């Protein structure tokens, strides 16, 4: 620096004219110095800082926007899922209802059929029973008649002359035991065979 | 450390040099360079590590100041009207803050806060006021701009002119007075006996930090407001 030192602190008052409120050459230096600082900060420091702040702002805004979209998507998916679930439930209920009705219908038919079969079997069984009983009764009756005759012959020791008449008597006795007259016709061939 | 006696500190006296017929205050210039180096160094440090991710402390500080200034500019001028006010106000704030805080170091004799010299404060105030008027004329046209000094009544023209002249003067002298008086208080305190000296010194220096911050803030704020009043359509 090409500065000539003239004074030290002690001589300042006389040199400066004694009034420190009046600017001197330092003013120019200060102005230039500040302009230099302003230039450096204005061109090299403030723009990158503002850029960084803007980028951060954008990043944050983008993050918020992304989060908002993700939430909307999730909500939409959940809504769709619920709707489908409800639909599926309704469908399921309908199918179940239908199946139950079908089952009822089928079961009703089967029951009726089974009842008919049972009734048929019952009837058949009764008929068989009935005819067997009749047959048994017929056989018994024929045997009773023969037995009674044989017994009478053994007791009396001889063949009775009126064999026909005795048989007639026994048969009529047996007929009297029968409650229904319908059985008489069925009993007759049995006794007749003997 | 040498304890300075009160009579050793002379108020408003600087070691000077003469160059091209002009007198230069060497201590003010040195302090300006230091304060400027701090601000520029901080700025370049932040620039070298600037990130859109998680900022470090220095970047956070710069971003905070930037955001404050930006908001202030947006409110009183509108960013689009005068975007260059942001770096100007930011630099003013940081530089004045650094300059003011030089008062904290016990180096009043060699490196006084440069803001305690009217050369610095007048230089800044003049720069600001010139830029304000240039911006006003550019924004509204020279005729309209000059006419707005005659509002709301023509006879207020002289008063408005005085107000405009008072702006840079008050801007400069407010800063100068506050910081300069801090030096005076220190010079009074050092007149106390050495064994009680530390308490008022520490207290005052803490307060000085606060004053330095407030004054830097006021200077930058008023700068923004002056720009605002010069560019606004409705005049004063």
Is residue A129 included in any domain, yes or no? yes
Tokens 């110095």: give the residue: A33
> C-alpha B230: how far from its chain's center?
20
- The reply to whether A17 falls in a domain is no
Whether A10 shows a pLDDT value over 70: the answer reads no
For residue A175, being part of any structural domain is answered with yes
Q: Does a structural domain hold residue A1?
A: no
Residue B122 sits at the chain A interface (C-beta within 8 Å): yes
Active site residue B178: yes
Q: Which of A11, A23, A8 is nearest to B117 (CA)?
A: A23
**Mutate: best of A42, A49, A51, A55, partner B, most B CBs <10 A:** A49
Is residue B66 annotated as part of the catalytic site, yes or no? no
What is the spatial distance between Cα B37 and Cα B31, in angstroms, rounded to a whole number? 10
Closest chain A residue to B83, measured at CA: A42
Q: Is residue A187 in some structural domain? A: yes
In a domain, A21, yes or no: no
Phi/psi for B17 (5° steps) reads -140, 155
Is the backbone peptide bond immediately before B152 cis, with ω within 30 degrees of 0?
yes
In a domain, A42, yes or no: yes
Contact yes or no for B171/B132 (Cβ under 8 A): no
Under the banding of pLDDT at 50, 70 and 90, the label for residue A145 is confident
Residue whose C-alpha is closest to residue B72's, from B60, B84, B89: B89
Between A191 and A112, name the one with better pLDDT.
A112
Question: Is B174 among the catalytic positions?
Answer: yes
What residues form DSSP beta bridges with B17?
A5, B24
* Domain count across chain A: 1
Q: With the C-alpha atoms ordered A166, A167, A169, A173, is the resulting torsion angle positive or negative?
A: positive
Q: Which residues pair with B23 in a beta bridge?
A: B18
pLDDT at residue B234 in the model: 56
Which residues are bridge partners to B16 per DSSP? B25
Q: Cα–Cα distance between B180 and B108 in angstroms, integer?
A: 11
Q: Name residue B22's beta-bridge partners.
A: B19
Domain encompassing residue A173: 26-193
Find where tokens 């003049």 sit. Answer: B126
For residue range B162-219, list pLDDT tens digits in order: 888 888 888 888 888 888 888 888 888 878 887 888 888 888 888 888 998 999 889 9
Instruction: Identify the active-site residue in B66, B107, B174, B232.
Output: B174
For residue A105, CA distances in Å to A68, A92, A97, A109, A110 come to 55, 20, 12, 6, 9
Residues 6+ apart with CB under 8 A from B141: none
Mark yes or no for CB contact B24/A3 under 8 Å: yes
Q: What tokens does A178 get?
A: 């029968």
- What share of chain A in percent tops pLDDT 90? 35
Determine, yes or no, domain membership for A60: yes
Q: Is A13 on the interface with B (CB under 8 A)?
A: yes
- The pLDDT score that the predictor gives to residue A102 is 93
Sheet holding A4-5, edge to edge: A4-5, B16-19, B22-25
- Say how far residue A21 (Cα) sits from the centre of its chain: 97
d(CA A34, CA A30): 6
ipTM for the whole complex: 0.83
Q: Give B151→chain A minimum CA distance, Å.
A: 33
- Give every residue of chain B whose pLDDT is below 70, as ranges: 1-12, 17, 108, 233-236
Put simply, whether B53 touches A (Cβ < 8 Å) is yes
CB contact under 8 A, A26 and B59: no
Contacts of B46 in chain A (CB under 8 A): 45, 49
Cα dist from A77 to A64, A87, A89, A90, A101, whole Å: 20, 15, 18, 20, 36
């Amino acid at each position: 620096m090409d500065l000539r030192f003239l004074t030290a602190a002690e001589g300042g008052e006389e040199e400066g004219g004694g009034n420190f409120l009046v600017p001197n050459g330092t003013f120019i230096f200060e102005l230039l110095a500040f302009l230099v600082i302003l230039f450096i900060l204005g061109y090299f420091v403030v723009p990158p800082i503002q850029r960084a702040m803007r980028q951060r702002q954008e990043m944050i805004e983008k993050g918020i926007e992304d989060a908002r979209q993700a939430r909307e998507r999730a909500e939409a998916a959940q809504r769709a899922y619920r709707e489908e679930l409800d639909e599926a439930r309704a469908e399921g209920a309908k199918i179940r209802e239908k199946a139950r009705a079908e089952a009822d219908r089928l079961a009703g038919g089967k029951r009726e059929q089974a009842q008919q079969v049972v009734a048929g079997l019952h009837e058949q069984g009764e008929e068989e029973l009935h005819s067997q009983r009749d047959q048994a009764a017929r056989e018994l009756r024929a045997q009773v008649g023969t037995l009674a005759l044989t017994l009478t012959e053994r007791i009396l020791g001889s063949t009775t002359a009126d064999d026909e008449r005795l048989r007639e008597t026994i048969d009529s006795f047996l007929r009297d035991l029968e409650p229904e007259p319908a059985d008489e016709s069925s009993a007759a061939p049995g006794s007749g065979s003997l | 450390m040498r304890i300075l006696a009160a009579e050793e500190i002379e108020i408003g006296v600087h070691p000077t040099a003469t160059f091209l017929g002009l007198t230069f205050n060497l201590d003010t210039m040195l302090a300006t360079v230091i304060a400027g180096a701090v601000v520029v160094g901080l700025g370049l440090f932040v620039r070298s590590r600037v990130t859109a991710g998680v900022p470090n402390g220095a970047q956070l500080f710069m971003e905070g100041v930037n955001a404050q200034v930006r908001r202030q500019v947006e409110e009183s001028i509108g960013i689009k009207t005068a975007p260059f006010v942001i770096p100007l106000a930011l630099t003013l704030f940081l530089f004045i803050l650094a300059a003011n805080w030089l008062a904290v170091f016990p180096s009043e004799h060699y490196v006084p806060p440069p803001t305690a010299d009217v050369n610095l404060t007048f230089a800044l105030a003049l720069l600001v006021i010139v830029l304000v008027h240039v911006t006003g004329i550019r924004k509204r046209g020279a005729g309209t701009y000059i006419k707005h000094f005659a509002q709301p009544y023509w006879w207020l023209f002289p008063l408005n002119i005085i107000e405009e002249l008072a702006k840079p003067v008050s801007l400069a002298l407010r800063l100068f007075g506050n910081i300069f008086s801090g030096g005076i208080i220190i010079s009074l305190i050092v007149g106390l006996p050495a064994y009680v000296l530390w308490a008022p010194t520490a207290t005052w220096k803490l307060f000085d930090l606060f004053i330095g911050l407030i004054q830097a803030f006021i200077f930058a704020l008023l700068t923004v407001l002056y720009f605002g009043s010069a560019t606004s359509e409705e005049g004063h």
